[in-house]
């Protein structure tokens, strides 16, 4: 196993529903450490950089608009294989398909924009985690 860092974001839908504490509780219960945390309404430029790989795709602009629509909680977590572990803890991208016991399976709703309004984001690889943490937490 490898100790690593990952970026986790409680998205505007999760923040609005008061689920940040529950998400953080599950992260800590899994044994991961909260290394950095901030609450902000992300500016468009930050989100465009974060989602740059999707620029030009039909969902890019709606995703940036959704993510800038209200406060989010951005967290850097640390732990053994935490990237893979958190993605398992989060559950399938579509909350309807996410397994019971996962964040999205237990807390997600069947929204029209399932890929956008699915409570959390988690980095998908060590490379993505390093890039994303650099965008959201340049001071680290």
Q: Please check if 84 is assigned to a binding site.
A: no
Helices (H), ranges, the chain: 12-16, 20-29, 44-50, 60-67, 82-90, 103-107, 126-136
Q: Write down the pLDDT at residue 109.
A: 81
Segment 13-51, tens digit of pLDDT: 999 999 999 999 999 999 999 999 999 999 999 999 999
Q: Please check if 87 is assigned to a binding site.
A: yes
| Sheet architecture: strand order including 72-80 | 33-40, 72-80, 3-10, 120-122
Q: Please check if 114 is assigned to a binding site.
A: no
Percent of the chain residues topping a pLDDT of 70:
95
Q: Please check if 131 is assigned to a binding site.
A: no
CATH at residue 112: 3.30.70.141
Q: Please check if 86 is assigned to a binding site.
A: no
Q: What domain range includes position 69?
A: 3-136
The catalytic residue positions are 121
Q: Write down the pLDDT at residue 1.
A: 66
Copy the structure tokens of residue 78. 């640390």
Instruction: Say if pTM beats, i.e. exceeds, 0.85.
Output: yes
Segment 98-110, tens digit of pLDDT: 999 999 999 998 6
pLDDT exceeds cutoff 80 at 117: yes
Q: Write down the pLDDT at residue 57.
A: 94
User: Helix or strand or coil: residue 54?
Assistant: helix
Span of 1-15, 25-39, 69-83 with lowest mean pLDDT: 1-15
Say how many domains are in the chain. 1
């Amino acid at each position: 196993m490898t100790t690593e860092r990952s970026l986790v974001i409680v998205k505007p839908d999760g923040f609005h529903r008061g689920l940040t504490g529950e998400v953080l509780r599950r992260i800590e219960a899994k044994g991961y450490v909260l290394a950095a945390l901030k609450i902000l309404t992300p500016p468009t430029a930050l989100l465009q950089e974060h989602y740059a790989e999707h620029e030009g795709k039909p969902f890019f602009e709606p995703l940036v608009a959704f993510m800038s629509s209200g406060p989010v909680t951005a967290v850097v977590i640390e732990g053994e294989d935490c990237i893979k572990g958190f993605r398992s803890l989060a559950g399938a991208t579509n909350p309807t398909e996410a397994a019971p016991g996962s964040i999205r399976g237990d807390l997600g709703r069947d929204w029209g924009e399932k890929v956008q309004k699915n409570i959390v984001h988690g980095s998908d690889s060590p490379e993505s985690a390093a890039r994303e943490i650099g965008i959201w937490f340049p001071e680290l």
